[in-house]
Amino acid sequence: MGMVLAKKRQSTVFQTKKPAIDVQVFKFGGAAVKDPAAIRNVATILKNYASESLLIVVSAMGKTTNALEKIVAAHAQQNGEAPLLLEALKTAHYQAMGELFPADHEVFDQVNDTFVEIEWVLDEEPHDNYDYMYDQIVSVGELVSSKIVGAYLTQEGLPTQWLDARDVVQTNELYREAWVNWPETEARFQKNAAPMLEKPGFVITQGFIGSTIENFTTTLGRDGSDYSAAIFSFCGKAQGMTIWKDAPGVFSADPRFFPGAALLEKMSYEEAIAMTYYGAKIIHLKTVGPLQDRNIPLRVKSFLEPSGEGTLISAENPDTYPALVAVEANQALLKISNLDYSFVNEQHLELVFKTISDLRMQLTFLQNTPMHFLISVFDQENKVNQFVEQVQSTLKVEVATGLELLNVRHADAAMIAELCKNRSIYAELSAGATTQLLTKLEL
């Protein structure tokens, strides 16, 4: 009898427990918060969502991340320019704030205190680990923009709490490209973000940044704010996530180069993952996976035309897709063969991949043929030459540079021929719906 009663009491407790809140995650990139007019526009959009439980993820304002990267480089070179570059960046931020806030607003001190963290780094000798130093400096862009946007929303009658993303997103120590520790991040979300979301009003946080277990700041890779929004969506089991961009949605190809490009109304998670994997610059590569895992729909839409529907990325698979094209410029093709004319074997491949990984080269194409192993990579810094130097005692490498990789999906032979009409083809590979073509534009 006692047992039954105990059970009943438990279930009553369960029933009266507050239902989980319906969180929505919105991400605004650098262009959406680039200046006072843009920030005002964000506030106007958000007034339509005043009653919702919104978690807002913002990037650094405009081109701030590029400016911060220059400060890191200048500090590393000790060329004396870092403090000047920092002054210019601070001035730009204070000017924008001057247009948004009265002069005695507390946000000025908050932003100043955040920039001081860069001054501390600049006062020291450059750190041996460039990537570590980079993350400590570059993360300030998001910290500052989130403070400014949050304070502005609050001022406009949309009370907004500020959440430090580093109290949620826990990563490993791979600075500049840190990997998320998912179980720990989910636990920290429950502890630090969920209670804020339960209160009325919005919560604003930073994209792009995280923290190691020892509380050192990390970043998730350039354009990582989309991914951050997906991390928060995953942890909060969000009802939906929206990326607000300066484009009406996802296009079948970059409309700047392909005038016939069409806006896609819908696409499946798989298609979005494939498109980003094959180089479409629509959203950060790692964004869709966590959303798919929890079946969270993603909308990509325009902050310039917020009434437009944009593109919905979900589990639903449309019947057909137009041909999708993504172009990756600045590719080097490496044609690798064995010095003694035998086949490229497993040991050779181990050397190839280890060298690629050590040099942190970005692989975009991979094909094995009987006599050659073909790869293409982004032709960055001096990495291709370093690669050749490191393998040349074992392998022969022929290099072609200045190539463009066309990644095409859902295209028939006629479309591909049309795409390649002014190009020479260096390598080609088809698998499933995808064709990859390494090409050079003929002059």
User: Counting beta carbons within 10 angstroms of the beta carbon of residue 7, is it exposed (0 to 12), middle (13 to 18) or buried (19 or more)?
Assistant: exposed
Q: What are the structure tokens assigned to 371, written together? A: 């006599």
Q: How far is the CB of 222 from Mg ion (least distance, A)?
A: 8
Q: How far is the CB of 322 from ligand ASP (least distance, A)?
A: 27
- In the three-class reduction of DSSP (H, G, I as helix; E, B as strand; rest coil), residue 50 is classed as coil
Q: How far is the CB of 66 from ligand ASP (least distance, A)?
A: 7
Sign of the alpha-carbon torsion through 161, 166, 167, 169 = positive
Residue 65 contact among ligand ASP, Mg ion, none, beta carbon within 5 to 8 Å by kind: ligand ASP
Reported residue count of the chain is: 443
- Contact code string over 308-327 relative to Mg ion, x by CB under 5 A: --------------------
Residue 207 contact among Mg ion, ligand ASP, none, beta carbon within 5 to 8 Å by kind: ligand ASP
Assess contact for 236 and 169: CB atoms under 8 A: no
Q: How far is the CB of 29 from Mg ion (least distance, A)?
A: 4
Start-end of H helices in 176-315: 182-188, 194-198, 225-235, 269-277, 288-293
- Of 220-279, binders to ligand ASP (CB under 6 A) are 222-225
Q: Nearer Cβ to Mg ion, position 30 or 290?
A: 30
Return the number of other C-beta atoms located less than 10 Å from residue 277's C-beta: 14
Asked if 29 interacts with Mg ion (CB under 5 A), we say yes
Asked if 134 interacts with ligand ASP (CB under 6 A), we say no
Residue 141 contact among Mg ion, ligand ASP, none, beta carbon within 5 to 8 Å by kind: ligand ASP
Assess contact for 269 and 291: CB atoms under 8 A: yes
Q: How far is the CB of 282 from Mg ion (least distance, A)?
A: 11
Asked if 379 interacts with ligand ASP (CB under 6 A), we say no
Helix (H) or strand (E) holding 351: helix 346-358
- 46, 57, 133, 141: which one binds ligand ASP (CB under 6 A): 141
From its phi and psi, is residue 255 left (phi > 0), alpha (psi between -120 and 50) or beta? alpha
Residue 236 contact among ligand ASP, Mg ion, none, beta carbon within 5 to 8 Å by kind: none
In the block, which residue shows the tokens 């030459």? 385
Q: Nearer Cβ to ligand ASP, position 207 or 210?
A: 207
Going from the C-alpha of 271 to that of each of 247, 317, 350, 380, the distances in angstroms are: 19, 8, 31, 28
Helix (H) or strand (E) holding 302: strand 298-302
Stretch that binds Mg ion, among 56-64, 340-348, 397-405, 412-420 (CB under 5 A): 56-64
Q: How far is the CB of 27 from ligand ASP (least distance, A)?
A: 8
Q: How far is the CB of 137 from ligand ASP (least distance, A)?
A: 13
Asked if 59 interacts with ligand ASP (CB under 6 A), we say yes
Going from the C-alpha of 128 to that of each of 67, 76, 171, 412, the distances in angstroms are: 21, 9, 21, 51
Assess contact for 88 and 66: CB atoms under 8 A: no
Q: What are the structure tokens assigned to 13, written together? A: 């407790």
- 30, 62, 236, 249: which one binds ligand ASP (CB under 6 A): 30
Asked if 62 interacts with Mg ion (CB under 5 A), we say no
Assess contact for 233 and 22: CB atoms under 8 A: no
Q: Nearer Cβ to Mg ion, position 93 or 348?
A: 93
- Contact code string over 209-248 relative to Mg ion, x by CB under 5 A: --------------x-------------------------
Q: Under rule CB under 6 A, how many of the chain's residues touch ligand ASP?
A: 12
Asked if 207 interacts with ligand ASP (CB under 6 A), we say yes
Going from the C-alpha of 391 to that of each of 74, 112, 222, 394, the distances in angstroms are: 32, 49, 29, 6
Asked if 208 interacts with ligand ASP (CB under 6 A), we say yes
Q: How far apart are CA 363 and CA 356, in angstroms?
A: 8
Residues of this chain that interact with ligand ASP (CB under 6 A) are 29-30, 59-60, 65, 141, 207-208, 222-225
Residues of this chain that interact with Mg ion (CB under 5 A) are 29-30, 59, 223
